[in-house]
Amino acid sequence: MSLLAVGSIAFDNVKTPAGEVKDVLGGSGVYFSCAASFFGPVRLVGVVGEDFPDEHLEFLVSRGVDTAGITRCKGRTFRWCGSYEGAMNEATTLEVDLNVFGDFEPEIPPSYRDSLFLFLANGAPRTQLCVLDQLPQARFTVADTMNLWIENEREDLRKVIERVDLLFINEGEVRMLTGKSSLVEAGREAVAMGAKGVVVKKGEHGALLVMKEECFALPAFPVDRLVDPTGAGDSFAGGFMGYVSSAGDLEPETIKRGLAHATVAASFNVENFSLRRFSEIDRSDIDKRYQRYAAMLRLD
């Protein structure tokens, strides 16, 4: 079923203990849609500048991403420079140039308005609300967020949380949002703000889905060599939404398998810089690792 993502498209400079890359393709919308595209078509709404090469757009198309929603504007593409140290659990942002992304007011093309699954990548809550307004028929919506909006746009963020099915948020951020230390308690508190569920992303420690009644934890797939965690959270969301939108129902088992596929997608993404690992694999690699992951967790 039709999946739409609204997110950033970027050039990244990234330095990790495993190496360094410059001017590589990145952005939340890109990571999300590449991960989701293993499971079916995905529509991407975003903005690039005049400096964005056609080969990147061609790469997205080759992965099954519908790029008709990407606008090219006057100016330069969003740029992010960051580094990771030690266990690479957190990025240090060295530089952000919003460029054309700074004035991004996503307009959903009429041909996309029938999208039933919607992912709002991390962005200003006001922008996320504006997208929600344009897609009243969306059946299943997920929003990501970050510390900046929790600190500065809390009121609008609360409105987003009230309107989405799932909030994806990382460990430190859900603590910041709720003031609770225990992740289960923090998750419940965030659910009380109005979302149906909260998915707490814990990096190398996996993820936790907290709903009103239920709570569900998954470990990360243990990777032998972590190279670059950039985009892991968006790849996780992409694997999740890709799987769920292709599954045809929203049963608890589907949501659970979606989170497991999310884990597998993210585990591939962190094995190399930028989209390199994704560009080497296909659905059968995802499925094989999913089987290994399911076998690891089979206890009876």
**Closer CB to a copy of itself, 125 or 233, in the complex:** 233
Give all strands of the β-sheet with 10-16 in edge-to-edge order. Answer: 19-26, 10-16, 78-84, 91-97
Our CB check for a copy of itself shows the closer of 136 and 299 to be: 299
Exposed, middle or buried, 221 (CB in 10 Å: 0-12/13-18/19+)?
A: buried
Residues 99-158 that bind a copy of itself (CB under 8 A): none
We find the least distance from the C-beta atom of residue 215 to a copy of itself, in angstroms, to be 4
Q: How far apart are CA 278 and CA 33, in angstroms?
A: 11
Among 42, 88, 195, 275, contact with a copy of itself (rule: CB under 8 A): 88
Using the rule CB under 8 A, give the single segment among 46-54, 150-158, 256-264, 273-281 that binds a copy of itself.
Answer: 256-264
CB-wise, 6 or 266, nearer to a copy of itself? 266
> How far is residue 117's CA from residue 97's CA, in Å, rounded to a whole number?
30
Residue ranges in 174-233 that form contacts with a copy of itself under rule CB under 8 A: 175, 181-185, 202, 204-206, 208, 210, 215-226
Strands (E), the chain: 3-6, 10-16, 19-26, 42-48, 65-66, 70-72, 78-84, 91-97, 117-120, 140-144, 166-170, 197-201, 207-211, 215-218
39 lines the binding site for a copy of itself (CB under 8 A):
no
With contact defined as beta carbons under 8 Å apart, do 8 and 27 qualify?
yes
For a copy of itself (CB under 8 A), the number of binding residues is 41
Site of interaction with a copy of itself (CB under 8 A)? 17, 85-88, 175, 181-185, 202, 204-206, 208, 210, 215-226, 256-257, 260, 290-291, 293-294, 296-300
